[in-house]
Chain A
């Protein structure tokens, strides 16, 4: 097979895969706009005949989405802040010092990443309830998410720090700075892109987090949008258009962020973000 033919074949395969992967998203967007009868038509229609834009306003009002999204934002920002503040220092140490203990630390960090949230939630729940943390459920979720996502962040940011040559720091030391100053003046600005990208990825994860929020937050008015969406669906649900409208409102901002920043995100992840 010639090179161009092979490239074409690869492209076709890629498009098919993308179509399969993106189909649910497409289905969500069009179902949200369908009327009640069109939704259940057989064969299903692939484009809404009369788009029902009013569904959005109705769902936003009736489900109190403003409050849910606000809670999601609080949890996501809280987690990102906590992870960034703690994770940057951790990643820096792991990037600069090489010995057995660092290797062991890295191994343990990666171990944490392997454990699924649904497994971790039981011990976390018991621990939090004994500490009285369940009285501050959103804070408890923020801490739980931070523990869960920290490894991912640390591993990414560590790679960014490793791409900053150590000689730059040494030059700053000889130039008259202390190592704290060298870190803030030299290393941090150069690692900024990588840290930003990792923080955005963490934000998107935390914004959609479900398992911890569902288990820890009992009070409806403190629940994030992911839990709100789940409680919308029951065994006898038939208002799929409303649910899809909810989902659309929930994920579109995240998708928009990703599409807008995707070039930076991809290059930040692969290049260590240094010019």
Chain B
């Protein structure tokens, strides 16, 4: 297996605050990795560092074997789904989907075709002409997902993408995201503070606390040999 994302000795400081402490993590191509941990432990910071929205203070970050420490987000070829979805309010669904393609100079007709294809797989075909404010929460979520998959990035980053949905829809979307991941053969990093979500969706779970990776491994491994109370709590939740 090849490594798609590699972090070695990564530290991140916000001024004097040490947000990420000596992170060692390698993510294999095609795997689905969940980042869990209590609020404020640095999950979003780690994800944003992968995207290039935050710069890391020390250490190395490689994506597909290339050193990415000082590469701006637009050159990392990574897609991100935000908790708030961050859909562009002044663009239709179609324009939202094709924005990344249009920036790259993909011809209009080709971009339109790509949008239609993606919309067909995510059930948005009827909604391409609508504006984000005219969509339900679940539909917005799908648009955010579609916008990420349209350009076949090297990795997908999700920051608590389902936390704004109701319980039933959340369960449904978990399955859908995982199915999509498998079909695209994508590499995904998925931040959540819902332990069930992490245990059921991921191949590999990374448990963080106070900026440190406490434990990582396959879901069952963590379930059987929890390294600390937080992991135990996760396992109990799962029963």
| Choice from A168, A174, A176, A178 contacting B88 with Cβ under 8 Å | A168
Q: Which of B69-84 contact A (CB under 8 A)?
A: 72-74, 78-80, 82, 84
Q: Are B53 and A170 in contact (CB under 8 A)?
A: yes
Q: Does B90 contact A (CB under 8 A)?
A: yes
Q: Are B89 and A190 in contact (CB under 8 A)?
A: yes
Q: Does A275 contact B (CB under 8 A)?
A: yes
Q: Which of A143-180 contact B (CB under 8 A)?
A: 165, 167-168, 170-178
User: How many chain-A residues does the 8 Å CB contact rule pick out?
Assistant: 19
In the bound complex, residues from chain B placing their C-beta under 8 Å from that of A274 are: 89
Question: In the complex, A171→B88 CA distance in Å?
Answer: 9
Minimum distance in angstroms from B95 CB to a CB of chain A: 10
Question: In the complex, A177→B105 CA distance in Å?
Answer: 11
Q: Does A181 contact B (CB under 8 A)?
A: yes
Q: Are A178 and B74 in contact (CB under 8 A)?
A: yes
Q: Are B72 and A178 in contact (CB under 8 A)?
A: yes
* Residue interface bits B104-136, CB-to-A below 8 A is 1, else 0: 100000000000000000000000000001000
Question: In the complex, A172→B53 CA distance in Å?
Answer: 11
Question: In the complex, A261→B87 CA distance in Å?
Answer: 29
Q: Are A275 and B86 in contact (CB under 8 A)?
A: no
> CB-nearest residue of chain A relative to B77?
A176
Q: Are B133 and A275 in contact (CB under 8 A)?
A: yes
Question: In the complex, A274→B80 CA distance in Å?
Answer: 23
In the bound complex, residues from chain A placing their C-beta under 8 Å from that of B88 are: 168, 171-172, 186
In the bound complex, residues from chain B placing their C-beta under 8 Å from that of A174 are: 51-53, 73-74, 78-80
Given the interface pairs A171-B80, A171-B82, A177-B74, the reply to whether A190 lies near B90 with Cβ below 8 Å is yes
In the bound complex, residues from chain B placing their C-beta under 8 Å from that of A178 are: 72, 74
Question: In the complex, A181→B74 CA distance in Å?
Answer: 11
Q: Are A171 and B74 in contact (CB under 8 A)?
A: no
Interface centre among A170, A172, A175 (most CB of B within 10 A): A175
Question: In the complex, A189→B95 CA distance in Å?
Answer: 14
Given the interface pairs A167-B82, A167-B84, A170-B53, the reply to whether A175 lies near B72 with Cβ below 8 Å is no
Minimum distance in angstroms from A274 CB to a CB of chain B: 7
In the bound complex, residues from chain A placing their C-beta under 8 Å from that of B52 are: 173-174
In the bound complex, residues from chain A placing their C-beta under 8 Å from that of B51 are: 170, 174
Q: Are A170 and B86 in contact (CB under 8 A)?
A: yes
Minimum distance in angstroms from B21 CB to a CB of chain A: 24
In the bound complex, residues from chain B placing their C-beta under 8 Å from that of A177 are: 74, 103
Given the interface pairs A171-B82, A176-B74, A176-B104, the reply to whether A275 lies near B99 with Cβ below 8 Å is no
Q: Are A175 and B100 in contact (CB under 8 A)?
A: yes
In the bound complex, residues from chain B placing their C-beta under 8 Å from that of A186 are: 88
In the bound complex, residues from chain A placing their C-beta under 8 Å from that of B82 are: 167, 170-171
Q: Are B86 and A168 in contact (CB under 8 A)?
A: yes
> CB-nearest residue of chain B relative to A175?
B100
Question: In the complex, A121→B103 CA distance in Å?
Answer: 49
In the bound complex, residues from chain A placing their C-beta under 8 Å from that of B103 are: 175-177, 181
Could you pull out 24 A-B pairs where Cβ atoms are within 8 angstroms?
A165-B84, A165-B86, A167-B82, A167-B86, A168-B89, A171-B80, A171-B82, A171-B86, A171-B87, A171-B88, A172-B99, A173-B72, A173-B74, A174-B52, A174-B53, A174-B73, A174-B74, A174-B78, A175-B100, A175-B147, A176-B104, A178-B72, A190-B89, A275-B133
Residues of B participating in the A interface, judged by any CB pair closer than 8 Å:
51-53, 72-74, 78-80, 82, 84, 86-90, 99-100, 103-104, 133, 147, 151
